Amino acid sequence: MSEINLTREELYQQVWLEPLTSLAEKYKVKYDELRTICKTQKIPIPKSGHWTQIRFGKIVVAEPLPEFKLDSEDSEKEKHFAISVTNEPPPLVKLQQEIENDPNISLIVPNKLSSPDLLIIQAKETFLNPGDYKTGYKSPSGFSRWEVLRIAVTKDNLGRALRFMDTLIKALKGRGHEIKISSRGTCVIIYGEEIRVNCREKNKRSIIQGKYGTNSELEPTGILTFNMEGIYPKEWKDGKLQLEEQLSKIIAKLEFEGKREKEQMERARKNNAEQAELRRIALEQRQLLEKERQNFESLLQSALKYREAILLREYLDVIENKITSSGEFDEKMKLWIKWARNSVETYDPLSDIYESLKNQIIIEDI
């Protein structure tokens, strides 16, 4: 790690000379860290659209640097601060260097196909079938469009595209990855995550003047591209470097995104598991509270039954005493009193009869 010492004024000037992302890359620091420094030092940064307006030649005015009250007793001196700069290359560059030094793979695209991968053989057979080309552009027949590698090139570029893809596939397999052909297209499986890819030739739209107006047609340019689809799409194409010379960059990016997608999926799975556990705990707590409520209701009902049983016994005592004193306590009345007292015993939660009946019901339920 090393440090770059800047004054607040110096950083302010640089922030308004180039985008913060560019400045972060220049100093090899994280964008968020640099933004935090600006916020801490009360350094204004350009608003969204600022650099776009500059590109279109519009005049923009930088926000003035506000005063910044220092904690130091010597407020006349301008505050200096340091930006920590890492000497290590970014993770993507380190990964690219690792791939370039991997003895298990070859990144050199040959001038001729040699022991091609089965997927390349299938793609070649598909392209070379009669009627595969219309006006020089690929239109495969004999195979379903989902059964072969996603390649869209002119006949003149076919050999080059197949050699490039063959080298790429072999290198990916050498790195422990897989290639899968499915209804989703051509997918590279990295760390268990599928990344859709394709190799195609760039086209340009040409306007053709006809008898009754103008029409447009797509014309191949000869520029070969390799495309990574998905949330973070990326295209590599012929330019200062031919596509064949960018293999290490392509593989590094694929592995980088595969790892990132895996980490995101793992975080999502972890978050889902945590949410499921929170829901389980909440449900368990609700069930415990409900059981507690039911137990209390049962207790309250038992207490009420007990008081009612006492009231009934007192009532029966009064009836029995009254009938006995009147001399009308016949056999029929005795049977009724006996039935009534047995009913009270059955109703009283503290009686032996009640407990016996309750246990009998529980056993029968089981």
- Beta bridge partners of residue 150, listed in sequence order: none
Identify whether the C-beta of residue 237 lies closer than 8 Å to the C-beta of residue 246. Answer: no
pLDDT tens-place string over residues 179-192:
999 877 899 999 99
Task: Work out the pLDDT band at 103, boundaries 50, 70, 90.
Answer: very high
The pLDDT of residue 217 is: 75
CA 246 to chain centre: 29
Q: Could you give the 3-state DSSP secondary structure of residue 79?
A: coil
Q: Which two tokens stand for residue 178?
A: 């897989």
Separation of alpha carbons 355 and 287, rounded Å: 27
Over 50: is that where the pLDDT of 108 sits?
yes
pLDDT tens-place string over residues 200-256:
999 887 777 666 777 767 788 899 999 999 878 899 999 999 999 999 999 999 999
As a whole number, the mean pLDDT across the chain is 83
What burial class does residue 50 get, using C-beta atoms within 10 Å of its C-beta: 0-12 exposed, 13-18 middle, 19+ buried?
A: middle
Separation of alpha carbons 48 and 163, rounded Å: 44
Nearest to 148 by CA among 111, 112, 198: 198
Separation of alpha carbons 137 and 345, rounded Å: 98
Nearest to 169 by CA among 160, 157, 178: 178
Q: Where are the beta strands (DSSP E) in 211-290?
A: 213-228, 234-237
The pLDDT of residue 33 is: 85
Over 60: is that where the pLDDT of 286 sits?
yes
Identify whether the C-beta of residue 197 lies closer than 8 Å to the C-beta of residue 226. Answer: yes
The pLDDT of residue 79 is: 55
Over 60: is that where the pLDDT of 70 sits?
no
The pLDDT of residue 324 is: 87
The pLDDT of residue 82 is: 62
* The most confident of 68-77, 278-287, 315-324, by mean pLDDT: 278-287
Over 60: is that where the pLDDT of 363 sits?
no
Tallying the residues shown for the chain, one arrives at 366
Q: Where are the alpha helices (DSSP H) in the chain?
A: 8-15, 20-27, 31-40, 50-55, 91-100, 118-128, 155-174, 247-326, 331-347, 352-365
Separation of alpha carbons 232 and 204, rounded Å: 24
Identify whether the C-beta of residue 174 lies closer than 8 Å to the C-beta of residue 102. Answer: yes
Average pLDDT over residues 141-166: 80
Separation of alpha carbons 255 and 102, rounded Å: 14
Work out the angle between the directed axes of helices 247-326 and 155-174 (0-180°, nearest 10): 60
Angle at 106 between CA 105 and CA 111, to 5 degrees: 155
Average pLDDT over residues 286-308: 93
Average pLDDT over residues 253-270: 90
Q: Which two tokens stand for residue 62?
A: 């930088």
Which position has the token pair 């739209």? 205
Q: Which two tokens stand for residue 89?
A: 């290359």
pTM above 0.75, yes or no: no
Residues ≥6 apart with Cβ < 8 Å to 174: 102, 104, 105
The pLDDT of residue 41 is: 84
CA 39 to chain centre: 30
CA 261 to chain centre: 7
Q: Could you give the 3-state DSSP secondary structure of residue 312?
A: helix
The pLDDT of residue 230 is: 83
Over 50: is that where the pLDDT of 117 sits?
yes
The pLDDT of residue 7 is: 81
